[in-house]
Structure 1
């Protein structure tokens, strides 16, 4: 009898220790099953430009091609090579299928959830919480983050693996720091060494996944600032070198961009002051959706977001600033009394320093909260744990279960919607009537279904409502040209509109597609080449376009293609040479040579090739997309081909 009681007691102790781990496994399995419904979705928006380099030079089957792809990044100043390398896990060519990419993203999300549990556990140990308290608070907080529907748009949006990996290495850095910090009273030398190594290596890895990974020292500084355990604090000299200096360096790089001039960003419809005002409303909205979750939010059509023009336009700008200021002030005020509240709020604000302040990025994206919200649910978890000391614990467990069920249901429904890309795009489009991109999507879907007249009508009515949209303007013209319905009046209408509309990068892409369309065959060119050329010439005098480097390069190139299609080779070669000077890149030059060699004379193609060779000889080898040997061989081969062709013609 006594042995049975001892065994039962030991079993209860064992279950008490292992139950949180079993619950974490259960949460991970539930989360995995929930996300499976989203695997059927396709690639979206930024996936294409970031991943299409997988197929630029055929299948990536050698180290040179691997290197070229990893170095082809353009999404940020670092090129994000670690994130690009991770995509090779899923495929080595393009076009591809999104399924395996999304599956890997789900695995990273689950791993981040497990690591977050560990990070919170270590944070609470450093904050002198009892072990049982720390285990359960960590379980609740990490589970809320893991199951939250707001992060579906990060996990199932393939290219946002960049945000996931930056978060992964940031959490690993925090774990390494907090684990080593516990050694300070006993093994100080090892503690300082491992803390420094964790910060240094993980900051590099996180930054080369996505630039906001550079905030890791600042985030650890926040954790340290809120730590009530001041007795075992790292010495100030170490904190200055390893935390303060890196944090100040990053903040300097961000805020040296302060510039309140009126037209700071020609490619944006807001200036820096308007961005700061707008971000106050946006960050407040982020917090609302994080604490009051819903199935689907604004999605990726954020170009129609209402910009704050002043403190009172709209009035929610002022109220948002007051709210955020009060929240920030309370985090400092109650740091000693409620350290988990303070670390949650200050960590959230610190993580938004790069993407939600003065840099000229787009205004609104949900994935910016993937890292920022890591510790945001700590106060809720702590409150639930301490609530069970005041009321019946079973009631608290019921509340926790209800929270998890609601989050799971919302996340499942959202993942299921993300699993049907067409339905997702139409949902976003219909719920964002002030977004030109959204209305462009509706028009494109109508055209794909054979409703061309209705599509054109939709674009026309959308243009009346949003007359400043160059994107809708160009799409309407392009659709009419594609079906040979455009008239001179349509080109004149589009030109006059473009003169009044602000710069739009997607309109430039539309101009390129328009040019490709009109030179596709002889009949199209006879009818539309001259009006398209005239439109480009008008844009050359448009202040919003002729100051943009992308357009400055593209304009002579498109004119060269049109003149070549019109059999005016003398004008074409002149514009090809101008385009080559502006691109100043051997890869772009070889593409021009190929076009001229295919549709023009071998003599002019050889002349242009020699100009390309001059550019190549002076080009920085680190910026080459292929190996130097490949370019040497390609240029020599083309020179021989053109010389042989010239001799044959003679």
Structure 2
């Protein structure tokens, strides 16, 4: 399966032909690719919704489509989404999955993800075939090499957390349309090399790019991928010399414009010398850490063992300096060396260089200055295309250097695909049930607060919830205890541990003291900000939590981070009504009143409730605060006029 690469200037004489010589063989090969790409993932059905699936799908009323008509679909597409305003197409498909299944059936949603993955594998085989022919690979070898490369991408165990993690349909749909856009662009450029217009292909590429942008924002990187094609396989070539000149100048201008936008807009808007809001790392620390993250991704790709892929990465600590941890500097050198290698070999080894450029290009947004979480596996969904191409090129060159016969190459290729498929099935099985997923997550990421909290919640729900007599209470406490101990940066497990030990009747003052100390010192990311609010939920459901300890926790929380007005009002009502402490509730009410719209009746309703509790003094304070807030707003408006 040798991918012989010729000089880009020699590509004019050979035009790509479709896989197969007629429609029937092409359809048969496409069906085989789709089935091989899809079937291993069925081991992960039905599974359950996890992590970001909950807010984006389970708790998202906008996707719960009851009637299939134009108005309903428009309402779904235009409804505000917490995941992003440019993701209308995946949101529509979520709504259609809900409509066809009649409820939130994980298997229905995941089967659509698997179908999308199978279609992407077929499109990728088509793209690889055209790419290999463009690089000068002989037609027969290109046909089967394209199939092998697309299956290597489709069967990699790293894909499990993109395909079976329902909400990542945003990523997988984006990849599908990006591959189609690249295919259309490549066919258009092949037409240019042959002296034809290529206008239809370019229009199709732009259309597919626009659709990809409607799936996920990182699809904006399509021009980067097209530039990588030009720098390597295409070489800005065209039969029309004037067109070739315009291509070079156009890409040069676009590159300069991109650098200017990055330097003058993105960096000033996203750079943080101190920690990002709700993060425990700065921009410099994030960039240092991403070198380690990229090397971790490459390790997971090259050594595709499920044990290297834990799904949760909240345990990953940021790099605080070039040698903190010591792997930071070596990782930076590895990344730099690979980028330099890709640049220097772009003419001699175009496919290898293209693969590296696609891999690193796909991480330009997620491994940059925007304050995203440090690592997620689905960020490799498109990047894996580049990695597979680079590795395939290296293996093919090694086979030629060793003078390996064709039959041996085929055997090795089939063996490698079988290993990938086996690893994928093993990993997919961990997604087949909530219990298997929770246990595997905790086992593979023993320092992950999210993993232990997930296992704790599973045990708790399996036994009937946070109620006395829950037969799974001891197991849930063990899981939360491990989370509180092994993930000292997280609060969720610790909060739940206090609740469950109160239920069991063996919570101690020392337990509460350790929790309060953790609350005082832990970094207040978005999960930790919400965690203490769970005390009010469980107390309302009958758990006899220590009132003074809860009040102390709420006071610490409000001192350390601003509480959103709605949450502040809810907390105030809990303290006033459930804990019977209206005085203690006032600071939270004042925050909510100070943020209320002048026309909002909330302050007046609250004042009436306080009077009913025989606290006219507190009611008067609420009204004074509301009036002061209204007057300040009027003054600001007048100043603006």
Moved more, 52-61 or 362-371: 52-61
State the SS of the aligned residue for 2:81: coil
Q: 1:90 aligns with which of 90, 97, 101?
A: 97
Q: 2:166 aligns with which of 158, 166, 169?
A: 158
- The aligned counterpart of 1:351 is 362
- The aligned counterpart of 1:470 is 491
What per-residue deviation string (whole Å, max 9, x for no partner) do you get for residues 33-59 of structure 1? Answer: 222221221111110110134436975
Q: Retained in 2: the 8 A contact 1:444–1:455?
A: yes
Q: 1:222 aligns with which of 228, 238, 256?
A: 228
Q: Retained in 2: the 8 A contact 1:218–1:247?
A: no
Q: Retained in 1: the 8 A contact 2:156–2:420?
A: yes
- The aligned counterpart of 1:393 is 406
What per-residue deviation string (whole Å, max 9, x for no partner) do you get for residues 327-382 of structure 1? Answer: 11111111110000110001111110011222211112111111112132224444
Query: C-alpha separation between the residues in 2 aligned to 1:63 and 1:571?
Result: 51
State the SS of the aligned residue for 2:276: coil
Q: Could you tell me how far 1:594 is from its partner in structure 2?
A: 11
Q: 1:541 aligns with which of 534, 552, 559?
A: 559
Query: C-alpha separation between the residues in 1 aligned to 2:591 and 2:396?
Result: 69
- The aligned counterpart of 2:536 is 515
Query: C-alpha separation between the residues in 2 aligned to 1:199 and 1:319?
Result: 39
State the SS of the aligned residue for 1:430: helix
- The aligned counterpart of 1:29 is 35
Q: How does 1:210-609 map to 2 (within 5 A)?
A: 210-232=216-238, 233=244, 235-236=246-247, 239-240=250-251, 244=255, 247-248=258-259, 251=262, 254-257=266-269, 259=271, 261=273, 263-382=274-393, 387=399, 390-447=403-460, 448-449=462-463, 450-453=471-474, 455-456=476-477, 459-460=480-481, 462-481=483-502, 490-520=511-541, 524=544, 528-529=546-547, 531-542=549-560, 545-546=561-562, 551=564, 554-566=567-579, 575=588, 578-579=591-592, 582=595
Check 1:103–1:580 CA distance in 2 against 1; reply closer, same or farther (3 A cut).
Answer: farther
Query: C-alpha separation between the residues in 2 aligned to 1:353 and 1:215?
Result: 8
Query: C-alpha separation between the residues in 1 aligned to 2:513 and 2:404?
Result: 74
What per-residue deviation string (whole Å, max 9, x for no partner) do you get for residues 194-246 of structure 1? Answer: 42x34543333222311111111111111111135443136247734995477
What per-residue deviation string (whole Å, max 9, x for no partner) do you get for residues 462-494 of structure 1? Answer: 544544432333222232345566566655543
Q: Could you tell me how far 1:599 is from its partner in structure 2?
A: 12
What per-residue deviation string (whole Å, max 9, x for no partner) do you get for residues 409-466 of structure 1? Answer: 2222222222133112211202322212223234344544534346445544654454
Q: Retained in 1: the 8 A contact 2:352–2:393?
A: no
Moved more, 499-508 or 528-537: 528-537
- Across the aligned residues of Structure 1 and Structure 2, the Cα RMSD in angstroms comes to 3.9
Moved more, 17-26 or 163-172: 17-26
Q: Retained in 2: the 8 A contact 1:553–1:582?
A: no
User: How many residues of Structure 1 are paired with residues of Structure 2 in the alignment?
Assistant: 583
Query: C-alpha separation between the residues in 2 aligned to 1:540 and 1:573?
Result: 12
Query: C-alpha separation between the residues in 1 aligned to 2:582 and 2:73?
Result: 38
Q: How does 1:197-216 map to 2 (within 5 A)?
A: 197-216=203-222
Query: C-alpha separation between the residues in 1 aligned to 2:605 and 2:507?
Result: 30
Q: Retained in 2: the 8 A contact 1:214–1:250?
A: no
TM-score using structure 1 length: 0.78
Q: Could you tell me how far 1:182 is from its partner in structure 2?
A: 2.1
Q: Could you tell me how far 1:123 is from its partner in structure 2?
A: 2.6
Q: Retained in 2: the 8 A contact 1:272–1:358?
A: yes
Q: Retained in 2: the 8 A contact 1:52–1:94?
A: no
- The aligned counterpart of 1:636 is none
In structure 2, list runs of 5 or more residues that go unmatched: 1-18, 239-243, 464-470, 634-641
Query: C-alpha separation between the residues in 1 aligned to 2:537 and 2:567?
Result: 13
State the SS of the aligned residue for 2:51: coil
Query: C-alpha separation between the residues in 1 aligned to 2:135 and 2:146?
Result: 13
- The aligned counterpart of 1:172 is 180
- The aligned counterpart of 1:628 is none
State the SS of the aligned residue for 1:96: coil
Query: C-alpha separation between the residues in 2 aligned to 1:535 and 1:490?
Result: 13
Moved more, 400-409 or 123-132: 123-132
Q: Retained in 1: the 8 A contact 2:131–2:186?
A: yes
- The aligned counterpart of 2:198 is 191
- The aligned counterpart of 1:114 is 122
Moved more, 98-107 or 60-69: 60-69
Query: C-alpha separation between the residues in 1 aligned to 2:245 and 2:602?
Result: 58
Query: C-alpha separation between the residues in 1 aligned to 2:415 and 2:604?
Result: 65
Query: C-alpha separation between the residues in 2 aligned to 1:40 and 1:85?
Result: 21
Check 1:113–1:559 CA distance in 2 against 1; reply closer, same or farther (3 A cut).
Answer: same
- The aligned counterpart of 1:100 is 108
In structure 1, list runs of 5 or more residues that go unmatched: 1-13, 619-650
Query: C-alpha separation between the residues in 1 aligned to 2:231 and 2:604?
Result: 60
Check 1:57–1:340 CA distance in 2 against 1; reply closer, same or farther (3 A cut).
Answer: closer
Q: Could you tell me how far 1:83 is from its partner in structure 2?
A: 1.6
Q: Retained in 1: the 8 A contact 2:484–2:491?
A: no
Check 1:496–1:235 CA distance in 2 against 1; reply closer, same or farther (3 A cut).
Answer: same
TM-score using structure 2 length: 0.79
Q: Retained in 2: the 8 A contact 1:569–1:600?
A: no
Q: Retained in 1: the 8 A contact 2:170–2:216?
A: yes
Check 1:58–1:537 CA distance in 2 against 1; reply closer, same or farther (3 A cut).
Answer: same
Moved more, 383-392 or 357-366: 383-392
- The aligned counterpart of 1:638 is none
Query: C-alpha separation between the residues in 2 aligned to 1:99 and 1:600?
Result: 52
Query: C-alpha separation between the residues in 2 aligned to 1:105 and 1:379?
Result: 26
Check 1:398–1:574 CA distance in 2 against 1; reply closer, same or farther (3 A cut).
Answer: closer
Moved more, 216-225 or 501-510: 501-510
State the SS of the aligned residue for 2:233: coil
